[in-house]
Amino acid sequence: MRAVAWHGKRDVRVDNVPEPTIRRPTDIIVKITTTGLCGSDLHLYEVLGAFLDEGDVLGHEPMGIVEEVGGEVAALSPGDRVVIPFNISCGTCFMCNQGLHSQCETTQVREQGMGASLFGYTKLYGQVPGGQAEYLWVPFGNTLPIKVPHGPPDERFVYLSDVLPTAWQAVQYADIPPGGSVAVIGLGPIGDMSARIAMHQGAGQVIGVDLVPERLERARAQKIEALDLAEHKDDLADVIREMTDGRGPDAVIDAVGMEAHGSPGPKLAQQATGLLPDAVAGKFMQKAGVDRLAALYLAIDIGAAAAAPYRWSVSTAG
């Protein structure tokens, strides 16, 4: 089958790879009809090569049609339409029963000190082949896939794989009071959806920040108060405080995450680390890794004025 495979820093190709097979009686095989490109995939393209092997299949935002089921799968049948969450969780362990699926005890990558396995996302998270492929092996066929109806286009459902739950959780963590205000830093897919969800859940004022004109216009079309960071490089926090009666917003969501613009020192360190042999680079990143956190620092600055008298929360969603 054809699949998107990693071959090195900034070197991703469509390769011919073996088709997946049923390994355990609770597995399923899904024929992929739509798969997303996540912002976190860019970390694999640029930064996290030390934790990848040549030929690793990428992708963790897929949906499709069930092609084959294991003998103990009762919840699905061939022909069913499903969305596959990026987080591989059994759904039945203690952590999953607490709603902490990212810490699934069945799939935790303990040798790396990480949480649950992820599709298509490095040795740190299990090195499981991903969903940017014609077919995908999926474990826990009775509990992991999300069955959706036939009929509407894939675009109606594919965001259930990653974008929608990530954005929804960011808003939940932000704990915006009814009628309150929130600033969303970054208006990519996660930030844009976080802003819309905040409005849907009753926020009275939603402020969005980005650099990309198309993103800003899209946000404004949704009645979000969008600010262009290029126009407010030095006074953004002050401008947002003025928009919120001088106090700052009730909550701030950082939807930029890793590799933010405006962090030249960490960027240089990451680029230098990329020149090291993988064995050395991997150890270095695990023990002394740095990230580009300009957006997070900005979020803290924006919310600092409201920290004492108001609820303040920074939710990293990138």
pLDDT digits (tens, 9 = 90+) for 229-269: 999 988 998 999 999 998 889 999 999 866 555 555 555 55
Q: Are the C-beta atoms of 136 and 62 separated by less than 8 Å?
A: yes
Residue-level pLDDT at 176: 94
Instruction: For residue 153, give both structure tokens.
Output: 């286009």
Residue-level pLDDT at 268: 52
Residue-level pLDDT at 205: 97
In DSSP terms, 119 is beta-bridged to: 128
| Widest Cα–Cα separation across the chain | 62
Domain ranges across the chain: 2-161, 164-257+293-316
Run of H or E residues at 208: strand 205-210
Mean pLDDT, the chain cut into blocks of 10 residues (318 residues total): 95 97 98 92 82 95 98 98 97 96 96 94 95 98 98 96 94 94 94 96 97 96 95 90 91 79 54 54 52 65 56 46
Q: CA 315, CA 318: separation in Å to the nearest integer?
A: 9
Residue-level pLDDT at 292: 54
Q: Which CATH class is domain 2-161?
A: alpha beta
User: Phi/psi zone of residue 225: left (φ > 0), alpha (ψ -120 to 50 degrees), beta?
Assistant: beta
Nearest 5°: the CA angle 156, 219, 188 is: 70
Residue-level pLDDT at 299: 73
Q: CA 232, CA 211: separation in Å to the nearest integer?
A: 10
Residue-level pLDDT at 297: 66
Residue-level pLDDT at 285: 55
Query: What would the pLDDT profile of 52-94 be if each residue is shown by its tens digit?
Result: 999 999 999 999 999 999 999 999 999 999 999 999 999 999 9
| R_g of the chain, CA atoms, integer Å | 21
Residue-level pLDDT at 284: 45
Q: Which CATH class is domain 164-257+293-316?
A: alpha beta
Residue-level pLDDT at 21: 98
Instruction: For residue 170, give both structure tokens.
Output: 């960011």
Residue-level pLDDT at 275: 52
DSSP label of 243: H
Residue-level pLDDT at 40: 84
Q: Are the C-beta atoms of 146 and 85 separated by less than 8 Å?
A: yes
